């Protein structure tokens, strides 16, 4: 299950037990990978998520916004 996320090269990287299992730059793709690999209830995130402009995103908040968008899609999918 995904237990750690980070930002790199304008993408969100997802890790399970220190091994990267997915990398995506759209909310839909992130959602699909979370569905495929699962997500622990309280995943940790790298500081790169907060300082995303240093990791290929346009602004510091953009990586977290992308992650939150993916989680909103996931919630809608799971409610169906």
Domain boundaries defined on the chain: 2-79
- What is the tens place of the pLDDT at every residue in 26-76? 999 999 999 999 999 999 999 999 999 999 999 999 999 999 999 999 999
Nearest-angstrom CA–CA distance, 22 and 24: 7
User: Rounded to two decimals, what is the model's pTM?
Assistant: 0.94
- What is the tens place of the pLDDT at every residue in 9-31? 999 999 999 999 999 999 999 99
* pLDDT band at residue 78 using 50, 70 and 90 as cut-offs: confident
* pLDDT band at residue 79 using 50, 70 and 90 as cut-offs: confident
DSSP 25: S
């Amino acid at each position: 299950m995904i237990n750690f996320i980070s930002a790199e090269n304008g993408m969100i990287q997802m890790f399970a037990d220190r091994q990267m299992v997915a990398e995506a730059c759209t909310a839909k793709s992130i959602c699909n990978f979370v569905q495929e690999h699962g997500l622990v209830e309280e995943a940790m995130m790298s500081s790169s998520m907060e300082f995303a402009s240093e990791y290929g995103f346009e602004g510091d908040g953009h990586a977290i916004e992308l992650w939150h968008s993916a989680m909103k899609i996931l919630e809608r999918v799971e409610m169906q």
